[in-house]
Amino acid sequence: MRYAMAVDTKKCVGCADCVVACQTENNVPIGYCRDWIVEVTDGTYPQLEIEIRSERCNHCDNSPCVRCCPTGASHYVEGGIVKVTPHECIGCGACITSCPYDARYGHPDGYVDKCTFCDHRIQDGLQPACVSVCPTKCMYFGDLDDANSEVSKVLKKRKFKTLIPQAGTKPQVYYLI
Amino acid sequence: MREELITSGRLNPNVDPYLEIWHWQIPLYLFLGGLAAGILFFASLYVILGKENEYRGAVRRAPIIVPFILMIGLGALFLDLRHKLFFWQLYTTIKLESPMSWGAWTLMAITPISIIWVAIHIQEYFPGWEWKNVILRDLNAFFLKNKVGLAWVTIVLSVILGIYTGILFSAFNARPLWNTSILGPLFLTSGLSAGAAAIILFAQSKKEKVVFAKIDIMLIVIELFLIIHMFMGFRASTQVQIDAADMFLGGAYTAPFWIFVVVLGMIVPAILELMELRHKKIPVYIPVVLVLFGSLMLRFIISYAGQMSRWLY
């Protein structure tokens, strides 16, 4: 089992519904976010192209955050999801520093927090909160080992990229281009 | 002109617009850890070489400050933690891939050893000292008898402590400025240099002062060599590392780094120590304070600049 997500940059309009859904679902403290919108404008004026992406933790196969954690609070769970156990976390900040995507933050309660792919929802057979609310249906979630999952099918059909693959992290959030 | 403009809706405290998760505590600890490693390295080295009586300042006098600076360093590390009450989780596991885990266990071992080291040499400061408790007296006799063995353990731990302060940074490939294996040897050399400088203050014989001034000059030359190599490596590497090096070669950190670390912290004290060797009268604490200051500034600047260096995507 290998959970992954695909985000269609051609469909995402940057409405930030995913951000609000995540904050509500996961009780994210005010002023913080586990997922966010990035807009990249590229080209020579007036020939400009805009790419809009909904970003979050990439649940990397080779996670620097899991590697550098001194207590084992950062760990993999089934399906390759990277999680933090709050009562094992000492709040040293090593994992926050180690993430090339800056996907983690220090929760006001002291421990380090991040996207969990809503694994509590997955266990109930639901989609992650961000995926389920997207008004343009630009996100796909599922098991890469299952050829019939939505994410496998869309990655077979479309061209895609990952973020900073040269960092060697093997990210598992794919961006359809 | 072709341009790329990246706008992010994320504004997490201490993470955006650039990382600021480690403040003064980490560089202060890295400095104190390096200094402690440097003093203990030379103390145990001269015990192993059997020259304890010629280098009393290094072996018996200077280590008295080590337990104190380690405890201040540990205090700073504790202040840095955000989930403080769970700090003991560090000692429930050994994670070989995590430099911080290595550091936590090394400190756990080297702090008591530094206290033992001071205890068995306490008569250097209090000549009439007698351990009243029988157990303490036996322990004292045991460690004095096995001093060379203790010195071997200490020298290995001190090198791990000195080098880990750099590896802590270099293990993060997310921060291009830190992601160079030169940082381990550089911080180790800087710690040894700070240790040698501190020992000069405690040395009592002219000969010992001269030897440690020479050692310090040699270490400063090695440091300069490593710094040049670090920037050569960055300039020949990927775009993110070229950008990281540019912070020091024209960017925001150029003036503080070259003035405080290289000129005031290395070149000036090296020249002053050379003049001293040529029998010019230089107050001994001036080069010592400058070396310690340079060593501290090196950690502060690398720590803050490293958090500003990042991948752009």
DSSP B18: S
For chains A and B, count residue pairs whose Cβ atoms are closer than 8 Å. Answer: 156
A residues 64-83 closer than 8 Å to B (CB): 64, 67-73
Give the closest residue to B119 by CA, choosing from B53, B187, B66, B162.
B66
With CB atoms and an 8 Å threshold, state whether A39 touches B7: yes
The owner of tokens 């098991």 is A143
Across B221-229, average pLDDT: 98
Q: How far is A37 from chain B (nearest CA, A)?
A: 5
Across B62-78, average pLDDT: 97
A92 touches chain B (CB under 8 A): yes
For B289, the enclosing helix (H) or strand (E) is helix B285-308
Q: How far is B250 from chain A (nearest CA, A)?
A: 25
Question: Which pLDDT band, with edges at 50, 70 and 90, does B312 fall under?
Answer: confident
B111 touches chain A (CB under 8 A): no
Does B234 have pLDDT greater than 90?
Answer: yes
pLDDT at B128: 87
pLDDT at A84: 98
Total count of domains within chain A: 1
Mutate to test the interface with B, among A18, A96, A98 (most CBs of B within 10 A): A96
Question: Which pLDDT band, with edges at 50, 70 and 90, does B310 fall under?
Answer: very high
Between B128 and A124, the higher pLDDT residue? A124
In chain A, what residues touch B93 (CB-CB under 8 Å)?
70-72
* Sheet bearing B3-8, strands edge to edge: A47-55, A36-44, B3-8
**At B96, which amino acid appears?**
L
Question: Which pLDDT band, with edges at 50, 70 and 90, does B3 fall under?
Answer: confident
d(Cα B253, Cα B174) in Å, to the nearest integer? 19
With CB atoms and an 8 Å threshold, state whether B95 touches A71: yes
With CB atoms and an 8 Å threshold, state whether B310 touches A64: no
SS (H, E, C) B36-99: HHHHHHHHHHHHHCCCCCCCHHHHHHHHHHHHHHHHHHHHHHHHHCCCHHHHHHHHHCCCCCCH
In chain B, what residues touch A62 (CB-CB under 8 Å)?
none
Q: Which domains does chain B have, with CATH numbers?
A: 25-308 (1.20.1630.10)
Give the closest residue to B168 by CA, choosing from B20, B306, B18, B14.
B306
With CB atoms and an 8 Å threshold, state whether A97 touches B21: yes
For B236, the enclosing helix (H) or strand (E) is none
Does B194 have pLDDT greater than 90?
Answer: yes
Kindly report the number of other CB atoms within 10 A of residue A164's CB atom.
Answer: 17
pLDDT digits (tens, 9 = 90+) for A128-159: 999 999 999 999 999 999 999 999 999 999 99
pLDDT digits (tens, 9 = 90+) for B238-284: 999 999 999 999 999 999 999 999 999 999 999 999 999 998 888 99
**At A69, which amino acid appears?**
C
B30 touches chain A (CB under 8 A): no
With CB atoms and an 8 Å threshold, state whether A70 touches B101: yes
Please name the residue ranges forming H helices in B81-203.
Answer: 99-120, 134-145, 147-170, 183-202
Which residues lie below 8 Å from residue A120, measured CB to CB, with a gap of 6+? none
B2 touches chain A (CB under 8 A): yes
pLDDT at B1: 79
For B173, the enclosing helix (H) or strand (E) is none
With CB atoms and an 8 Å threshold, state whether A94 touches B104: no
With CB atoms and an 8 Å threshold, state whether B175 touches A73: no
In chain B, what residues touch A70 (CB-CB under 8 Å)?
90, 93, 95, 98, 100-101, 103-104
Which residues lie below 8 Å from residue B284, measured CB to CB, with a gap of 6+? B200, B201, B209, B276
Across B66-94, average pLDDT: 96
B279 touches chain A (CB under 8 A): no
pLDDT at B2: 86
With CB atoms and an 8 Å threshold, state whether A42 touches B238: no
Across B112-134, average pLDDT: 93
With CB atoms and an 8 Å threshold, state whether B4 touches A42: yes
Domain that holds residue A17: 3-176
pLDDT digits (tens, 9 = 90+) for B210-222: 999 999 999 999 9
Question: Which pLDDT band, with edges at 50, 70 and 90, does B155 fall under?
Answer: very high
Does B313 have pLDDT greater than 80?
Answer: no
The owner of tokens 């490293």 is B306
Across B66-82, average pLDDT: 96
Which residues lie below 8 Å from residue B141, measured CB to CB, with a gap of 6+? none
Share of chain B above pLDDT 90, in %: 92
**Summary mean pLDDT of chain B:** 95
d(Cα B288, Cα B184) in Å, to the nearest integer? 23
B170: closest chain A residue by CA: A98
Quote ipTM for the complex: 0.93
The owner of tokens 């084992």 is A72
We report the CATH number of the domain holding residue A107 as 3.30.70.20
Please confirm whether the linkage preceding B17 is cis (ω < 30° from 0): yes
Mutate to test the interface with B, among A102, A105, A115 (most CBs of B within 10 A): A102
Which residues lie below 8 Å from residue B167, measured CB to CB, with a gap of 6+? B99, B102, B183, B184
pLDDT at A10: 96
Please name the residue ranges forming H helices in chain A.
Answer: 17-25, 64-68, 94-98, 119-122, 129-133, 150-157
Buried/exposed code over A22-53 (b: 16+ C-beta within 10 A; e: otherwise): bbebbebeeebbbbbbbebeeeeeeeeeeebb
B254 touches chain A (CB under 8 A): no
In chain B, what residues touch A105 (CB-CB under 8 Å)?
12-15
Question: What's this model's pTM, rounded to 2 decimal places?
Answer: 0.94
Does B294 have pLDDT greater than 80?
Answer: yes
Low-confidence ranges of chain A (pLDDT < 50): none
Q: Which residue from A71, A90, A167 is facing B173, i.e. has the nearest CB?
A: A167
B residues 174-213 closer than 8 Å to A (CB): 174-175
